């Protein structure tokens, strides 16, 4: 049986048991609403355009923050990979910063920027920058010395060597870094929106929770999970597999 059919059967069974348990009253509706209630809340949310505006707002912040994170992360990664001094100083702090959850930066972001999009984008940038930098650094440092020596014997030096040899050989790590940066940035975005105002999935999640609308809470959680899985599997995972196949990995 193909994996897609196994997944369909699995999710249909989970939703069926969930609906059955809710209708039999095995738990209170306020604790875990039935799938039918969740679907109704989602339908109403899209019908009145609330969730549409939330998605637009969230993706706008995400794209801006992720783009900045990829540029910064790539620049830092190249710097610490090519400079031992930078690696001994900046590089030694990257793992420490990477271990700090992005939500921890939010109080500082709100003090600096206030309760607005800038604070959320700041958190998103921090969520994706460090993991991107670490992967770029690893990719450049793992380039086979044979490639570099072969290119040098043919007269390639400096920037030409980096563009023609080092960068192409590091592309699998760049792709993996981008994929991880997306995942970290997506989680940072939702966490940041929980404590800010304005249209966004995180804001609607908090608003629904404050008013006890658990059907909308579960619905938004499902949207967040589905978007994360779809983007990862349909975009980044396919690109990663294509690059790995092309590079013979």
pLDDT, tens only, 159-186:
777 787 888 888 888 888 999 999 999 9
Using the predicted structure, report yes or no on whether residue 222 has a pLDDT greater than 90.
yes
On whether the CB atoms of residues 147 and 165 are closer than 8 A, the answer is yes
- The two most distant CA atoms of the chain are separated, in Å, by 76
On whether the CB atoms of residues 128 and 176 are closer than 8 A, the answer is no
- Please enumerate in sequence order all residues whose Cβ is within 8 A of that of 44, keeping only pairs 6 or more positions apart, or say none: none
The DSSP element (H or E) to which 117 belongs, if any, is: helix 117-141
What pLDDT is recorded for position 246? 77
What is the value of pTM for the model shown? 0.86
What pLDDT is recorded for position 68? 96
On whether the CB atoms of residues 208 and 221 are closer than 8 A, the answer is no
Tell me how far apart the alpha carbons of residues 128 and 132 are, in angstroms, rounded to a whole number: 6
What pLDDT is recorded for position 195? 78
3-state secondary structure of 160: helix
Q: Average pLDDT for residues 7-20, to the nearest whole number?
A: 90
pLDDT digits (tens, 9 = 90+) for 114-148: 878 888 999 999 999 999 999 999 888 888 888 77
On whether the CB atoms of residues 168 and 246 are closer than 8 A, the answer is no
């Amino acid at each position: 049986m193909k994996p897609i059919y196994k997944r369909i059967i699995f999710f249909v069974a989970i939703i069926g048991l969930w609906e059955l348990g809710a209708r039999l009253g095995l738990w209170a509706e306020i604790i875990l609403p039935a799938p039918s209630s969740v679907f109704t809340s989602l339908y109403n949310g899209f019908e009145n355009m609330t969730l549409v505006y939330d998605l637009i707002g969230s993706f706008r912040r995400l794209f801006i923050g992720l783009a900045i994170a990829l540029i910064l992360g790539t620049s830092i990664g190249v710097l610490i990979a090519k400079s031992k001094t930078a690696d001994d100083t900046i590089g030694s702090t990257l793992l420490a910063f990477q271990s700090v959850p992005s939500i921890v930066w939010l109080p500082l972001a709100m003090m600096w920027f206030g309760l607005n999009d800038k604070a959320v984008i700041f958190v998103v940038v921090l969520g994706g920058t460090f993991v991107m930098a670490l992967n770029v650094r690893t990719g450049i440092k793992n380039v086979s010395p044979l490639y570099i020596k072969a290119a040098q014997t043919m007269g390639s030096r400096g920037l030409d060597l980096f563009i023609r040899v080092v960068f192409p050989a590091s592309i699998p790590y760049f792709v993996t870094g981008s994929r991880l940066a997306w995942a970290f940035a997506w989680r940072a975005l939702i966490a940041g929106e929980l404590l800010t105002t304005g249209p966004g999935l995180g804001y609607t999640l908090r608003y629904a929770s404050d008013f006890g609308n658990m059907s909308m809470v579960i619905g938004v959680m499902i949207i967040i999970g589905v978007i994360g899985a779809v983007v990862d599997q349909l975009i980044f995972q396919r690109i990663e597999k294509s690059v790995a196949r092309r590079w013979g990995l």
